[in-house]
């Protein structure tokens, strides 16, 4: 009987592995989804009934197992180095020239699409997937085996019993990201900026069930130490990966000389938007493994490979209209409504125009044909008007004199380009202020996303910030998408926010000119909101980094009777108004961070950039956004880029995340 059960289990695994391979690797399914689901259910039932037959490589592990408490570190025996960058044809020719100078040979290259995802390493023992890790800092990554097993294009058992390390890119398809963002928008959650961030965030989940729902994909692009396995060329090792059952990108080309590489780059620069996934460039590698060995490495990258980075994609479309929105500080912002157009893989329908001066400077008119691009491949912006396409029917645009939301007068404050609504009771300002108050960097009330806040505001349940703390379950339950569990979770999150330190509250209040950093400085300096409220503008101005405008704005805010009433109500509901962090005077003189200017770059997977900034500042450090000669220290997380390169050039001290954590603990 047991042999019959084991035989059936093995048969099911074999069938499901093959169907997975056909569907996710070959893109050629041979069975209906219903048939696949039926076989998977049978296998799950058998493994639950006979747990002694369950294995780590069964197709059932793809649904996600138990959550982890922490990511374990993985040391890469062969470092996963980053690549140098090329930004134009001249850089590629220079790369080729240096290689030919060293080798005295004409060189064949392999050109491959540079998928915008997360680099990972996969280990197999006798054909079985045993471990997967992130790139990390190149030398040490994190064990994410539990999440990688949920990616159906990663084979759990190879077609041959190979012991091998394979490297590749985990990524999220454009359509998957679009669907995921639609779901997040419906829940009032923050949208994911791009497929790369979405993929990286999915693979850093401690709970694999979350990763299993994200629909990630994978392309393998290298065999680690391929020469020791008997291969002569990189292209041969990629063909071998195909034989083992890996998914490799067929859009690759062996090029005889740099001119063929340049043609390949040019072709895909034009065709990139047609791909179902994002690419941000082309990777070029010397094909001969013997020549790769001869060329060797610099301190941070191989000499035999380079990444060509595409410029931001620019496309043409038409401005259908210009809409106005009112922010929490009353600033009226114009937005171009566009004929839908695909840019960098996503459909763009809107682009911010910032202010009236931008519209006048670019002479933008409704009906104009314009060139747009995504700044940083994320935020759509209008680059220029295509004047040669004007017909004379375009309509000039002028900013109104009254608020589009409440019809109050608009005013331009001296020295500023923005128009502001003068009515502090403007519904748009109140609504945007509520959204700001609950946001992650302010009071961080989970479950109160933008859509939920708008719903509560429209229903009249919240009007002032303090109304949030008066919400009751019986008010929320009748609302759309508000079930018992979601309501209880929301009320719990609201209650938790009461314990935030003072700086979170100060930032959440939305005082003009006061950002998160200034809020922290004020909280450290005054300790309680009562002391800050009673301070004069001159005494506030004595605080380092607080200027005239900010000091006056803070003083005016707390002089206002409505503001005083709000603070009184927040105290009534039990919201903390005291700074809970370390005061500057309490920072140890032995702290390594005192007086140092520090830059964070890359992804800090354990601590997170926001928390790292807070801890460094509590210990006397100053965190800035750019690397310069004044920078004392750079903290480099995973996938660190140009800031790390610049720090190397300037000879700035560099730490990885583990070193930062160690010093913070000490």
The CATH number of residue 174's host domain is 3.30.470.30
- Cβ(378)–Cβ(363) under 8 Å? no
pLDDT recorded at residue 187: 64
Query: CA 337, 342, 344: angle at the middle one, nearest 5?
Result: 115
- If you average pLDDT over residues 530-545, what whole number do you get? 88
Which residues are known to be catalytic?
Answer: 114
E strand spans, 1-107: 73-75, 84-86
Pairing of strands 164-171, 140-142: unpaired
Which tens digits make up the pLDDT trace of 364-417?
Answer: 999 999 999 875 455 788 989 999 999 999 999 989 999 999 999 998 877 677
**Distance from C-alpha of 558 to C-alpha of 547, rounded to nearest angstrom:** 17
Residue 551 has pLDDT above 70, yes or no: yes
Helices 427-438 and 450-458, packing angle to 10 deg: 140
R_g (Cα) of the chain, nearest Å: 28
Residue 135 has pLDDT above 80, yes or no: yes
Q: Report if residue 418 sits inside a domain.
A: no
Do both 139 and 176 map to the same domain? yes
Residue 589 has pLDDT above 60, yes or no: no
Residue 63 has pLDDT above 70, yes or no: no
- Nearest CA to 460 among 478, 439, 475? 475
Pairing of strands 128-134, 419-421: unpaired
- Cβ(355)–Cβ(334) under 8 Å? yes
CA atoms within 13 A on the CB side of 389: 14
Helices 516-526 and 609-618, packing angle to 10 deg: 30
Higher-pLDDT residue of 442 and 210 is 442
Classify residue 52 as exposed, middle or buried by CB count within 10 Å of its CB (0-12, 13-18, 19+). Answer: exposed
Maximal CA-CA distance, the chain:
87
Q: Which of 411, 437, 467 is the last residue of a domain?
A: 411
Classify residue 325 as exposed, middle or buried by CB count within 10 Å of its CB (0-12, 13-18, 19+). Answer: middle
Mean predicted lDDT score pLDDT of the chain: 86
Distance of CA 12 to the CA centre of its chain: 38
**Most confidently modeled range among 155-159, 353-357, 623-627:** 155-159
Do both 270 and 203 map to the same domain? yes
Any idea what the CATH number is for the domain that residue 389 is in? 2.40.50.140
- Cβ(507)–Cβ(440) under 8 Å? no
Do both 363 and 447 map to the same domain? no
Do both 498 and 355 map to the same domain? no
Q: Report if residue 79 sits inside a domain.
A: no
Residue 236 has pLDDT above 80, yes or no: yes
585 pLDDT tier (thresholds 50, 70, 90): low
Domain that holds residue 594: 584-665
User: CB under 8 Å, gap of 24 or more: what pairs does 130-134 form?
Assistant: 130/56, 131/74, 133/74, 133/76, 134/203, 134/204, 134/605, 134/638
The answer, as to whether pTM is greater than 0.85, is no
**Distance from C-alpha of 632 to C-alpha of 634, rounded to nearest angstrom:** 7
What are the b/e assignments for 419-440, b being 16+ CB within 10 Å?
A: bbbebeebebbbbbbbbbbbbe
In this structure, the chain runs to a length of 666
Any idea what the CATH number is for the domain that residue 535 is in? 1.10.150.20
**Distance from C-alpha of 412 to C-alpha of 418, rounded to nearest angstrom:** 6
Q: Report if residue 516 sits inside a domain.
A: yes
Do both 318 and 397 map to the same domain? yes
Instruction: Name residues whose C-beta falls within 8 Å of residue 500's C-beta, 6 or more positions apart in sequence.
Output: 443, 444, 575, 576
Which tens digits make up the pLDDT trace of 422-443?
Answer: 898 899 999 999 999 999 889 9
Q: Report if residue 66 sits inside a domain.
A: no
- Count the domains in the chain: 5
- Cβ(313)–Cβ(376) under 8 Å? no
Do both 251 and 303 map to the same domain? yes
Q: Report if residue 369 sits inside a domain.
A: yes
What separation in angstroms does the CA of 279 have from each of 246, 269, 312, 640? 20, 9, 11, 18
Phi, psi of 542 (to 5 degrees): -70, -15
DSSP H or E run through 108: strand 108-115
Any idea what the CATH number is for the domain that residue 589 is in? 3.40.50.10190
Phi, psi of 398 (to 5 degrees): -125, 140
Strand order, beta sheet including 164-171: 128-134, 118-125, 164-171, 217-223
Do both 450 and 591 map to the same domain? no
Do both 459 and 554 map to the same domain? yes
**Distance from C-alpha of 250 to C-alpha of 545, rounded to nearest angstrom:** 55
Q: Which of 54, 71, 93 is the last residue of a domain?
A: 54
Do both 88 and 143 map to the same domain? yes
Do both 47 and 104 map to the same domain? no
- End-to-end CA separation in angstroms for the chain: 60
329 pLDDT tier (thresholds 50, 70, 90): confident
- If you average pLDDT over residues 596-603, what whole number do you get? 85
Question: Which residue, chain included where needed, has tokens 């354990």?
Answer: 606
Please give the share of the chain, as a percent, with pLDDT higher than 70: 93
Classify residue 212 as exposed, middle or buried by CB count within 10 Å of its CB (0-12, 13-18, 19+). Answer: buried
Instruction: Name residues whose C-beta falls within 8 Å of residue 73's C-beta, 6 or more positions apart in sequence.
Output: 140, 141, 142, 143, 658
- Nearest CA to 519 among 497, 483, 543? 543
- If you average pLDDT over residues 209-214, what whole number do you get? 81
Do both 637 and 651 map to the same domain? yes
Higher-pLDDT residue of 517 and 131 is 131
Residue 88 has pLDDT above 70, yes or no: yes
Q: Report if residue 420 sits inside a domain.
A: no
Residue 464 has pLDDT above 60, yes or no: yes
Q: Report if residue 211 sits inside a domain.
A: yes
Instruction: Name residues whose C-beta falls within 8 Å of residue 216's C-beta, 6 or more positions apart in sequence.
Output: 150, 151, 170, 171, 172, 176, 199, 202, 203
Phi, psi of 397 (to 5 degrees): -115, 135
pLDDT recorded at residue 64: 57
Q: Report if residue 68 sits inside a domain.
A: no
**Distance from C-alpha of 571 to C-alpha of 250, rounded to nearest angstrom:** 63
Pairing of strands 379-385, 597-601: unpaired
Q: Which of 264, 279, 309 is the last residue of a domain?
A: 309
- If you average pLDDT over residues 514-535, what whole number do you get? 90
- Nearest CA to 404 among 332, 352, 338? 332
pLDDT recorded at residue 270: 85
pLDDT recorded at residue 443: 94
Do both 40 and 151 map to the same domain? no
- Please give the structure tokens belonging to residue 320: 């259908």
């Amino acid at each position: 009987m047991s042999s019959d059960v084991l035989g059936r289990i093995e048969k099911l695994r074999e069938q499901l592995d093959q169907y997975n391979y056909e569907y996710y690797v070959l893109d050629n399914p041979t069975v209906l989804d219903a048939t696949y689901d039926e076989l998977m259910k049978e296998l799950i039932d058998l493994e639950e009934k006979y747990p002694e037959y369950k294995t780590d490589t069964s197709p059932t592990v793809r649904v996600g197992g138990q959550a982890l408490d922490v990511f374990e570190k993985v040391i890469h025996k062969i470092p996963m180095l980053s690549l140098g960058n090329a930004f134009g044809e001249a850089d590629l020719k220079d790369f080729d020239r240096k290689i030919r100078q060293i080798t005295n040979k004409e060189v064949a290259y392999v050109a491959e699409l540079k998928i915008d995802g997360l680099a990972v390493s996969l280990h197999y023992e006798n054909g079985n997937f045993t471990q997967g890790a992130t790139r990390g800092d190149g030398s040490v990554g994190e064990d994410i085996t539990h999440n990688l097993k949920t990616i159906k294009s990663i084979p759990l058992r190879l077609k041959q019993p190979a012991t091998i390390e394979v490297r590749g890119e985990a990524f999220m398809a454009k359509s998957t990201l679009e669907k995921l963002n639609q779901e997040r928008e419906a829940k009032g959650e923050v949208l994911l900026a791009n497929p790369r961030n979405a993929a990286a965030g999915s693979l850093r989940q401690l709970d694999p069930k979350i990763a299993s729902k994200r629909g990630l994909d994978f392309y393998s692009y290298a065999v680690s130490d391929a020469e020791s396995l008997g291969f002569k060329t990189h292209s041969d090792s990629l063909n071998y990966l195909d034989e083992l059952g890996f998914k490799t990108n067929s859009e690759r080309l062996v090029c005889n000389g740099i001119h063929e590489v340049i043609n390949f780059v040019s072709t895909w620069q034009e065709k990139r938007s047609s791909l179902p996934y994002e690419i941000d460039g082309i990777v070029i590698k010397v094909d001969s493994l013997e020549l790769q060995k001869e060329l060797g490495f610099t301190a941070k990258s191989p000499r035999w490979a380079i990444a060509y980075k595409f410029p931001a994609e620019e496309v043409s479309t038409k401005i259908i209209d210009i809409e106005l929105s009112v922010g929490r500080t009353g600033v009226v912002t114009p937005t171009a409504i566009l004929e839908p157009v695909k840019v960098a893989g996503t459909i763009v329908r809107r682009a911010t125009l910032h202010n009236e001066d931008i519209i006048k400077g670019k002479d933008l008119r409704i009906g104009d044909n314009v060139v747009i691009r995504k700044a940083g491949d994320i935020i759509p912006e209008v680059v220029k008007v295509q004047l040669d396409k004007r017909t004379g029917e375009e309509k000039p645009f002028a900013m109104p004199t009254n608020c589009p939301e409440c019809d109050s007068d608009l005013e331009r404050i001296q020295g500023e380009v923005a128009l502001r609504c003068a009515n502090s009771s403007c519904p748009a300002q109140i609504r945007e202020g509520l959204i700001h108050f609950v946001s992650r960097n302010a009071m961080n009330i989970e479950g109160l996303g933008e859509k939920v806040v708008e719903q509560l505001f429209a229903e009249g349940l919240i009007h002032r910030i303090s109304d949030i703390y008066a919400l009751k379950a019986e008010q929320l339950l009748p609302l759309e998408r508000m079930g018992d569990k979601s309501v209880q979770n929301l009320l719990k999150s609201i209650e938790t926010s009461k314990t935030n330190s003072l700086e979170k509250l100060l930032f959440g209040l939305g005082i003009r000119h006061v950002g998160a950093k200034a809020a922290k400085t004020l909280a450290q300096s005054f300790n309680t909101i009562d002391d800050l409220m009673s301070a004069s503008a001159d005494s506030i101005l004595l605080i380092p980094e607080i200027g005239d405008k900010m000091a006056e704005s803070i003083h005016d805010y707390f002089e206002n009777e409505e503001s005083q009433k709000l603070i009184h109500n927040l105290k009534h509901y039990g919201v903390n108004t005291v700074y809970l962090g370390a005061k500057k005077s309490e920072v140890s003189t032995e702290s390594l961070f005192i007086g140092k200017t520090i830059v964070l770059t890359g992804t800090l997977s354990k601590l997170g950039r926001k928390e790292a900034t807070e801890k460094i500042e509590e210990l006397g450090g100053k965190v800035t956004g750019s690397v310069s000669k004044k920078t004392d220290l750079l903290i480099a997380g995973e996938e660190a880029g140009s800031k790390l390169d610049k720090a190397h050039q300037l000879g700035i001290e560099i730490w990885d995340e583990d070193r930062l954590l160690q010093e913070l603990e000490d």
